[in-house]
Amino acid sequence: MLAKRIIPCLDIKNGRTVKGVNFENLRDAGDPVELAKRYADEGADELVLLDISASLEARETIYDLVRKVGEQINIPYAVGGGITSVAQTYKLLRNGAEKVSVNSAAVRQPQLVSDIANEYGTQCIVVAIDARKVGEEWIVHTHGGTKPTEIELFSWAKHVQDLGAGEILFTSMDHDGTKNGFAVKALRKMNEELSIPVIASGGAGSKEHFKDVFKEGKADAALAASVFHFGEIPVPDLKDYLSDNDINVRRT
């Protein structure tokens, strides 16, 4: 059985790590390079760097910061935010990223997923999906969660898998930053319908939430931000807890 992955997420705005609730009310969480090094030293399996305002501001992502992070850590990391082309993917990979994460651009230009997968392999392309419950349906949102679409979550996830996505990063906007637990039912459904790994995001507030998302939600990886950034759940303590609860995690 593959080990479950613990992935701290660094949401970047104006060169700083920030964190909010339900994608709003952002507060400073520290220097991203320093945080990245700390997580690598603590035994995180991977990192995700998201330039959260790149799509809204219609600009490219943060190459210099990506390079600086890569110089300080020895674990894989994905970069997302404002990626709209294979050329940008090349620049990010050249600056040290192992994967790129596309969200808004994939909705606008689904062929981009196939283009990146064909050029660099499916292992290099993560499709991030931000969604919230609207009535009885999960609806995909873009541009940092600010723009609702008419796309249903599970059909979209299956479509991008068919296009060549190597992983799905699913963030429940309803759960994001609330610390009330992950969207376990939706994650379980997604994992049952897909053959590629699913990363759970949105709602981590306790060690038990991670246990639930792995055991009940069947997630392949769990991503969190504030509980790591503000020292509420140290990565080594979390891995000890998960291992004690019969969840296979990598140990340093």
- What positions carry a catalytic annotation? 11, 130
Question: In this structure, what DSSP letter does residue 235 have?
Answer: H
50, exposed or middle or buried, with CB in 10 Å at 0-12, 13-18, 19+?
Answer: buried
Quote the CA–CA distance of 202 and 179 in Å, as a whole number: 8
Q: Which residue has the tokens 């992070």?
A: 69
CA dihedral 39, 81, 85, 154 (to 10 degrees): 90
Q: Using alpha carbons only, what angle is made at residue 25 by residues 154 and 38, rounded to the nearest 5 degrees?
A: 80
Instruction: Tell me the backbone φ, ψ of residue 52, rounded to 5 degrees.
Output: -75, -15
Angle between helices 207-215 and 184-193 (to 10 degrees): 30
The structure tokens listed for 103 are 């969200």
Are 219 and 191 spatial neighbours (Cβ–Cβ below 8 Å)? yes
Beta pairing, strands 24-30 & 99-102: unpaired
CB atoms closer than 10 angstroms to residue 23: 19
